Structure 1
Amino acid sequence: MILITGATGNFGSKAIQHLLNKGLPAKDIAALVREGEDAQPLRDKGIDVRMGDYADVVSMRKAFAGVDRLLLISSSDRGPVENRTKHHINAITAAKEANVKHIAYTSFVRKPGHEDSAIADFENSHVESEKFLKDSGIKYTILQNGIYQEMILAFVGEKVAETGAILFPAAAGKASWVLREELAEAAINALTTEGHENKTYNLTNNTSVGFEEIAQYITAALGKDIHYSSPNVEDFKAILGKAGVPDMYIGMFVMWGTAVAEGMMDVEDTTLESLLGRKPTTVKQFIDQVYGSVGSEENH
Structure 2
Amino acid sequence: MDDTVLVLGATGKTGRRVTSLLGTAARPASRSSATKFDWSVPGTWEPALAGVTAVYVVPPENPALLAEFVPLAVRSGVTRLVLLSMRGAPDDDPFEAAVKGSGVEWTILRPTWFMQNFDEDLFAAPVQQGELAVPAGQGVHPFIDVRDIAEVAVVALTEQGHAGQTYELSGSEPLSFAEMLARIVAVTGKPVLYTDVEPDDFAASLRGLGYPDEIADLVTMLLVRIRRGEEAHVSDGVQRVLGREPRTFADYLGSSSFA
Query: 1:257 deviation in Å?
Result: 3.0
Quick check: 1:103 aligned with 2:81?
A: yes
After the TM superposition, which residues 168-247 of structure 1 pair with which residues of structure 2 at under 5 Å, given as runs?
168-223=134-189, 227-234=193-200, 246=209
After the TM superposition, which residues 1-300 of structure 1 pair with which residues of structure 2 at under 5 Å, given as runs?
1=3, 2-20=5-23, 26=24, 28-34=25-31, 37-39=32-34, 49=35, 51-55=36-40, 59-75=44-60, 77=61, 84-110=62-88, 123=89, 127-153=93-119, 158=125, 160=127, 163=130, 165-223=131-189, 227-234=193-200, 246=209, 248=211, 251=216, 254-263=220-229, 265-287=231-253, 289-290=255-256, 293=259
Relative to structure 1, the CA distance from residue 207 to residue 59 in structure 2 (aligned partners, 3 Å threshold; closer, same or farther) is same
2:7 and 2:165 mapped to 1: Cα distance?
19
Relative to structure 1, the CA distance from residue 4 to residue 235 in structure 2 (aligned partners, 3 Å threshold; closer, same or farther) is closer
Relative to structure 1, the CA distance from residue 136 to residue 162 in structure 2 (aligned partners, 3 Å threshold; closer, same or farther) is closer
1:33 and 1:236 mapped to 2: Cα distance?
30
2:150 and 2:17 mapped to 1: Cα distance?
6
Calculate the TM-score normalised by the size of structure 1: 0.69
Q: CA RMSD in A?
A: 3.4
Whether the 8 Å contact between 2:126 and 2:132 is mirrored in structure 1 is no
SS in 1 for 2:117: helix
Whether the 8 Å contact between 2:152 and 2:241 is mirrored in structure 1 is yes
Relative to structure 1, the CA distance from residue 228 to residue 130 in structure 2 (aligned partners, 3 Å threshold; closer, same or farther) is same
SS in 2 for 1:141: strand
Q: How high is the sequence identity, in percent, across the aligned residues? A: 22
Is there any run of 5+ residues in structure 1 with no aligned partner, and where? 21-25, 40-48, 78-83, 111-122, 294-300
Is there any run of 5+ residues in structure 2 with no aligned partner, and where? none
Superposed CA offset, 1:257-280 (max 9, x none): 324324454341222134334332
Whether the 8 Å contact between 1:177 and 1:208 is mirrored in structure 2 is yes
Superposed CA offset, 1:231-254 (max 9, x none): 33356578x69xx95363994664
1:291 and 1:10 mapped to 2: Cα distance?
14
Calculate the TM-score normalised by the size of structure 2: 0.79
Query: 1:56 deviation in Å?
Result: 5.2
SS in 1 for 2:194: strand
Could you say which structure has the larger radius of gyration? 1
Relative to structure 1, the CA distance from residue 282 to residue 66 in structure 2 (aligned partners, 3 Å threshold; closer, same or farther) is same
